[in-house]
Amino acid sequence: MSAIVDETHDPHLQSWVASANDPDTHFPIQNLPFGRFRRDAAGPWRIGTAIGDQVLDLERAGLIAGRDVTQLMQAPVPQRRALRAAISRALAVGAASQERTQAALLPQSAVQMGLPCEIGGYTDFYAGIHHARAVGALLRPDTPLLPNYKWLPIAYHGRASSIDVSPSTFRRPWGQQRGPDENAPPGFKPTARLDYELELGWLVGCGNARGDPVPMAQAEDHLFGVVLFNDWSARDIQGWEYQPLGPFLGKSFASTISPWIVTLEALAPFRVAPVRPESDPQPLPYLDSPFNRSAGAVDIALEVRLQTAAMRAAGNTGDVMSASNATDSYWTPAQLLTHHASNGCNLRTGDLLGTGTLSGARPDQAGSLLELSAGGKQRIVLSNGEARSFLEDGDCVILRGVCARDGYRRIGLGECRGTVESAVP
């Protein structure tokens, strides 16, 4: 089990990398996330750890052999914990290897980040119950949640090839859309109802053989870590195409993830019991375990910020649109993985499990514009006087996530930033 608090989480631990001791950094020595970077567009990808505003080249520092991130991710948990401890010791004040390690540092601003791993498969869940209830109410006011919702983690298989790393840009997609006249043929044009979705992406570390389910007691050993995830959505394309088989072109055009994988080991101090109303059915036995009941959820505070092109030109960092928490997920990361593999499906290293939109219980905590605008019926007035129901060209959406708990060092997931470009190049 990865939820072990040890000396690497000591809140008093300081790094000789000065920026890592800044109280506002997402990447103190207690975090140590992994990512892939290169010095320039022609250079090879290397494996690094974020420390303050720097990147530590792990191979050059002598902490790993080679540049195969898959091998690192599928390592057994004890081996992962040993590597984390070695990196922590090398970066801590008083480290004997400081001179060698310092030579392996680069400013984050001087490198190009890539996808943190090869994502071969991507499944998007619908685990945010407040989002499911709010969107369901727009379609089925009397029965917003379908009968299966509280019994199993609902999901669809998404398109892995169109996942990009932050900061990303993408072109407004074209697609079939139905007009107000139900008797008229649909049109083919750029989406007018482009939306974001505030999600987390859990990345599989060690996979499972086809035909071998993963029990709850072992599920977390198969998870490597978490990234921020924006599942961009064209609501008008989606609304016309999704029946009866679900999302397709309204989702597959672009998704954006943050570049640093925050490991389960780093998240250990922020594990909490999942909240489920007593009146709700308890999970079936295959989706239950003592550990999951006591600490299966993760306390990650989440935020969505919208920066329009006009704001950017004026030096305005944008408006906070909403804030929620990873605990707003009805299903835990282990339950997502176990259910996915319960039929014998073989998950592989680097597969991404999206949580679905993580909205909070209040309307102002909605993780999508679809909810905030009541299905596009209400315009949201921004601080500079602009208004939005859905995204316009030039809009930039920034997701952020932070873990904070008394007695421990605050850590973050960095940011996930994506900008909408015109449908016409």
* Stretch 342-366: mean pLDDT: 97
Beta bridge partners of residue 122, listed in sequence order: 352
| Tens digit of each residue's pLDDT (9 = 90 or more) over 58-76 | 999 999 999 999 999 999 9
Question: Which residue carries 């071998």 as its tokens?
Answer: 212
Q: Are strands 155-157 and 255-257 parallel, antiparallel or unpaired?
A: unpaired
Ranking 8-12, 149-153, 274-278 by mean pLDDT, the lowest is: 274-278
Q: What are the distances in angstroms from CA 129 to CA 9, 133, 304, 331, 425? A: 31, 6, 18, 9, 38
* Stretch 79-84: mean pLDDT: 98
Confidence of residue 50 (pLDDT cuts 50, 70, 90): very high
What pLDDT, on a 0 to 100 scale, did the predictor assign at position 172? Answer: 98
Residue 264's nearest CA partner among 69, 38, 8 is 8
| Tens digit of each residue's pLDDT (9 = 90 or more) over 156-202 | 999 999 999 999 999 999 999 998 898 999 999 999 999 999 999 99
In this structure, what token pair is assigned to residue 154? 């609902």
**DSSP secondary structure code for residue 39 in this structure:** S
Residues 324 and 198: their CA atoms lie apart, in Å, by 9
Angle CA 200–371–152, to nearest 5: 50
Q: Give backbone dihedrals phi and psi of 374, rounded to 5 degrees, phi first.
A: 55, 50
* Stretch 141-163: mean pLDDT: 96
What pLDDT, on a 0 to 100 scale, did the predictor assign at position 424? Answer: 84
Given the residues 9, 26, 130, 131, the one annotated as active site: 131
| Tens digit of each residue's pLDDT (9 = 90 or more) over 100-128 | 999 999 999 999 999 999 999 999 999 99
Burial of 150 from C-beta contacts in 10 A (0-12 / 13-18 / 19+) = middle
| Tens digit of each residue's pLDDT (9 = 90 or more) over 207-263 | 999 999 999 999 999 999 999 999 999 999 999 999 899 999 999 999 999 999 999
Written as one letter, the residue type at 364 is D
Residues 421 and 191: their CA atoms lie apart, in Å, by 12
* Percent of the chain whose predicted confidence (pLDDT) is above 90: 96
In this structure, what token pair is assigned to residue 401? 């996530």
For the question of residue 131 being annotated catalytic, the response is: yes
CA 241 to chain centre: 26
Beta bridge partners of residue 165, listed in sequence order: 257
Beta bridge partners of residue 302, listed in sequence order: 324, 401
What pLDDT, on a 0 to 100 scale, did the predictor assign at position 1? Answer: 57
Q: Are strands 223-230 and 198-204 parallel, antiparallel or unpaired?
A: antiparallel
- The full set of domains in the chain, from first to last, is 7-113 (2.30.30.230), 122-421 (3.90.850.10)
Supply the mean pLDDT for the chain. Answer: 97
Burial of 147 from C-beta contacts in 10 A (0-12 / 13-18 / 19+) = exposed
Residue 88's nearest CA partner among 61, 67, 115, 107 is 61
| pLDDT beyond 70 at 312 | yes
What pLDDT, on a 0 to 100 scale, did the predictor assign at position 2? Answer: 65
| pLDDT beyond 60 at 335 | yes
Residues 33 and 353: their CA atoms lie apart, in Å, by 18
| pLDDT beyond 80 at 425 | no
What pLDDT, on a 0 to 100 scale, did the predictor assign at position 375? Answer: 96
Q: What is the dihedral of CA 50, 51, 54, 58, to 10 degrees?
A: -60
